[in-house]
Structure 1
Amino acid sequence: MRRPKLLAVPFWATYIFLYVPIIVVVIMSFNASSNLFVWKGFSLDWYGVLAKDSAVLEGLRNTLIVAGGATVLATVLGTLMAVGIHRYTRGGLIRAYATAPALLPDLLLGIGLLSLFSLLQMSLGLHTVLISHAVFASAFVTAIVLARLANVDPTLEEASQDLGMGAGRTFVRITIPQLAPGIVAGALLAFTLSLDEFVIAYFTAAPQTPTLPIVIYSMVRFGVTPEINALATLLLVVSMTVVIAAQRLTRITEAI
């Protein structure tokens, strides 16, 4: 059957609408001019300006602290939650609750977490952002590890215990290695989600401890500059690298 050529029009129009602005941002980050609409030659000067911006460096430091801590916490909680759901529950209700943070709007989740911290009388800071991102990212880790658990052979664990190895050692030496591709893929996805997340961080961060997306937002309010283009390009490279790595590991998980 021949496909109508008109179907290609909305397809390519959508791709142009989504990706052309991103390509323009990347190109203009290498512009020697401070004018975003005038190209004056290739230059890396704006990356040098970016490296000397104290606000950006502080936001990057805060973001890496939050993303690193949230990744570790989300990976541990998500893995244990997935194993518990797979082994001890039946039906989809518990699974739905476990993955709910990934489906809820960020605005709703941010307001809910802020209300919880206020109820517990917790002062806002990097620790509240870290906890919030861990809650958000753990849902994605849970979903990925659950997909991996569907392909794990339970007879290996049974054989291990029959040979005298306890449940704890069996989990560490048999179960975890089988889940490793899914765990690593979930951790990488959790890291990139925390790295780019703005809405939840905006509600749960203190004014004196902004993350990098909040710093970018404060800079963009006064207009987009080549420095912001350079920063957006670096974030794009990091995010794409992590996402591609996570996708590759997910494919390995499905193939094994």
Structure 2
Amino acid sequence: MAWHAPNKLSRFNMSALALGLVFLYLPIVILVIYSFNASRLVTVWGGWSLRWYAELFNDRAMLDAAWMSFLVAVTSATLATLLGTLAAVALARAADFRGRTLFSGMLYAPLVMPEVITGLSLLLLFVALNAERGFWTVTIAHTTLTLCFVAVVVQSRLTSLDRSLEEAAMDLGCDPARAFMAVTLPLILPSIAAGWMLAFTLSLDDLVIASFTTGPGSATLPIRIYSEVRLGVKPEINAICTLVIALIAGVIVVASLASKLSNARGESAAPL
């Protein structure tokens, strides 16, 4: 008789899971709760209030920094997704081209390279090109940072696909480009979406590289928060961070629902 492991979690596993969740999310829960604190002192509870959200929407500098971060994150994530997907296709579909090892090594280098080195090298590049530092320099820097993450995610999906599906499409008259668009792209679309989300989050979170490549009037939200935290934590910072958490949670929920819908459509279209 075959032995089956019990489906129920043991007390030890439940305790480890609870400790892990507390370690990860307790600071975030505290931050969200204190964003509704009526007291000006962030460590002293003064009752529930939306006071600091109202103050936040009157803080033009903070709102401008948040809008800049959002624009940079969306633009750089889109560029990184496009370039990273193309790089992943090149690595997965052309496994024997000359220089593949060098290309893959250069592509994955930002994964292990300290951000301070990446930021400094990009700063020197922009200075040598006499480029005015601002929105586009930060966007290019974040695209450079996040491109490799997208490539890793998409390549892992491409390597697990059955290439006979593309070959069958080409046998039916499709050229390689049309076969890729009609067959492969819909199958790797969830991984592309996951890569975009990862790139968006990394760009929204970045402080080090943005501090090297930003210019006057183009400070991102992490830079703005860091500059104000050095003088003391303002209650408005808790409020803006809570809104960012809500934004990221919303993006994750939408992406999860889209992924489930895509899987459901794929199962319904599959032959019985």
TM-score by length of 2: 0.81
Residue in 2 that maps onto 1:160: 169
Cα distance in 1, alignment partners of residues 146 and 34 from structure 2: 32
Q: 2:30 aligns with which of 24, 36, 57?
A: 24
Matched, 1:114 2:123: yes
Task: Structure 2: state its 5+ residue gaps.
Answer: 1-9, 268-272
Please tell me the residue identity of whatever aligns with 2:65.
G
- d(CA) in 2 for partners of 1:98, 1:38: 48
- Residue 21 of structure 1 deviates from its aligned partner by 3.4
Secondary structure of the 2:40 match is coil
1:66-107 Cα shifts (integer Å, max 9, x gaps): 111101100000000000001113586543432221221111
Q: Which moved more, 1:237-246 or 1:67-76?
A: 237-246
* Alignment pair present for 1:210 and 2:210: no
Q: Any idea what SS the aligned residue of 2:87 has?
A: helix
Match of 1:59 among 51, 55, 65: 65
Using the TM superposition, name which of 110-119 and 73-82 deviates more. 110-119
Distance in 2 separating the partners of 1:203 and 1:239: 25
CA deviation vs aligned residue, 1:222-256 (integer Å, no higher than 9, x gap) = 11011111112222233344457668889999xx9
**CA distance in 2: counterparts of 1:135 and 1:86, whole angstroms:** 20
Cα-Cα RMSD: 2.8
Match of 2:235 among 226, 235, 247: 226
| Counterpart mapping for 1:137-216 below 5 A | 137-216=146-225
CA 1:196 to 1:226, structure 2 compared with 1: closer, same or farther past 3 Å? Answer: same
- Which has the higher Rg, Structure 1 or Structure 2? 2
Contact (CA 8 Å) 1:145, 1:182: kept in 2 or not? Answer: yes
Cα deviation code 1:1-48 (max 9, x no counterpart): xx9x8xx79x94x87665443332221111111122321211111111
Letter in 2 for 1:97: M
Choose the corresponding residue for 1:38, options 44, 48, 52.
Answer: 44
Segment of structure 1 superposing worse, 20-29 or 119-128: 20-29
